[in-house]
Amino acid sequence: MITTKKQAEDLIYRSYMLVGRRLKYDAPDSEKRHPEYTRSVIRRLDRRCGRENILVTGSKGKGSVSVMISELLQAHGKNTGLLTSPHIFDFNERICINGKNIPDDDLIKYCEKIAPTLELIDMTTAEREYISPIAAQVMIALLHFYGKTDHNIFECGKGVLYDDVNNLSRSYSVINRIFLEHTRELGDSIEKIAFDKSHIIVEGQKFAYSSAQLPNVAEILENRARECGVRLKTYGREFYCENIRLSETGTSFDVITQHNRYENIRIPLLGAHQAENFALALCVCEDILENINIQKVNLAAERIIRRGRLEIISKDPLIIADCCINRESARAAVQVLKDMKKTTLSAIIAIPADKDHRGVAEEISKIADKIIFTQIKNPHYKFERKQANCIKGAVFAEDMQAALELAKQSADAVCILGTAAMLAEVYELQP
């Protein structure tokens, strides 16, 4: 019997936790992920829900694009369901309708409902196999969305081919920029990663959309779309941005599509990449909606909130936080920080030892006057003092508070780069 929120969350992760140390951590997704176990259940719930699904993948920014699509549809009177990850403060952030988190009572109710099914499936798994936590979240989301939404948006996890989200039907597939990341799980080349994520495109869907891609990635996506008989609309061809301007309050830009020109859109997010994310979301919504209204587009743009995506935490001194754990993401952050034109910059890096802390440090060192490595309290992440040795002149602070105090001593701007789990600690330390 599930009667508390903790019991609900424990159910979602139970199968994965039971495997525990027997799981081959370094194995690729093709060996350790098994979406076939939940395929029939998810597809049955999906058919019952009976709404158009939009699936979103990519290496960075897929959560931002998912939220942007949701806000644009809501501004035009559509009720939207949204499944994203990870959460920042509360697990319920992952499942939303019209921007509102699933209530605790509903989370508990739906977990109680799927518990017998998960238990039966778990009995069929092999010794080192498990039901992915995302499978349970998809089931809960579909139960929560039933009868309440017009369109549902699902953010895929690291990949697509072995992700339980891929069990869903979809009318639209959205692919943000793909780069080399999660090589242990998805493959040791960008081509292998692109091949995995290209499986978000399937036969029978209406359209697929892609941001600007490297030529070898674009070729893989185009080939997949051609094989499936799906038209792929790409950034730079069917839609693009112009006149991108940054300020301390956000980014302004124009979007040009095959149908319209949208001028002077402003979002409270920093970076040219966020303007391109919005253009991608807008192109999707043009095809979903019969008529699109520029005033409603602007309303949706103003409402977009993405915690920890080059977010301005404080203005005096300027503190910017970004959930950035690899070199490619750090490059985007560096470009934004350059545009801010601050005199001196301190960078705090709170990235676990098994992530690309070196790549992030090397990129941010191009503009930072001081680099401080630190650790967070979350016991699920491993940090080591020796991480600071990867870049000349870097130091290690025992916790986020010490890191911030050190960073503010000699800089007019501070950038905090790290895993999403660090955000809660950063917020707690603000006056």
Domain-by-domain residue ranges, the chain? 5-303, 311-428
Average pLDDT of the chain to the nearest whole number: 93
Q: What fold, for 311-428?
A: Protein-Tyrosine Phosphatase; Chain A (3.90.190)
End-to-end alpha-carbon separation of the chain, Å? 42
What region, left, alpha or beta, does residue 187 occupy, with left being phi > 0 and alpha being psi -120 to 50 degrees? left
DSSP letter for 368, please.
-
Tell me the chain's radius of gyration from C-alpha atoms: 21
**What number is the average pLDDT over the span 128-145?**
95
Tell me the CATH number of domain 5-303, given options 3.40.50.170, 2.40.10.120, 3.40.1190.10, 3.40.50.300: 3.40.1190.10
The pTM score is 0.91
| Rounded distance between C-alpha atoms, residue 98 and residue 77, angstroms | 10
Is the pLDDT assigned to residue 328 strictly greater than 90? no
Q: What is the pLDDT of residue 237?
A: 96
| Rounded distance between C-alpha atoms, residue 333 and residue 327, angstroms | 10
Kindly indicate the confidence band of residue 88, based on its pLDDT and cuts at 50, 70 and 90: confident
Interacting residues of 301 by C-beta distance below 8 A, sequence separation 6+: 71, 265, 266, 267, 278
| Rounded distance between C-alpha atoms, residue 368 and residue 389, angstroms | 16
Quote the percentage of the chain above a pLDDT of 90: 74
Is the pLDDT assigned to residue 342 strictly greater than 80? no
H/E stretch holding 263 reads: strand 261-267
Is the pLDDT assigned to residue 297 strictly greater than 80? yes
AA identity, residue 207: F
Is the pLDDT assigned to residue 68 strictly greater than 80? yes
- For 417-430, how does the pLDDT look when each residue is reduced to its tens digit (9 = 90+)? 998 889 889 988 88
- For 16-54, how does the pLDDT look when each residue is reduced to its tens digit (9 = 90+)? 888 876 777 778 888 889 999 999 999 999 999 999 999
Highest mean pLDDT among 11-20, 166-175, 332-341, 373-382: 166-175
**What number is the average pLDDT over the span 100-118?**
97
| Cis before 431? omega within 30 | no
Residue 430 near residue 320 (C-beta atoms within 8 A): no
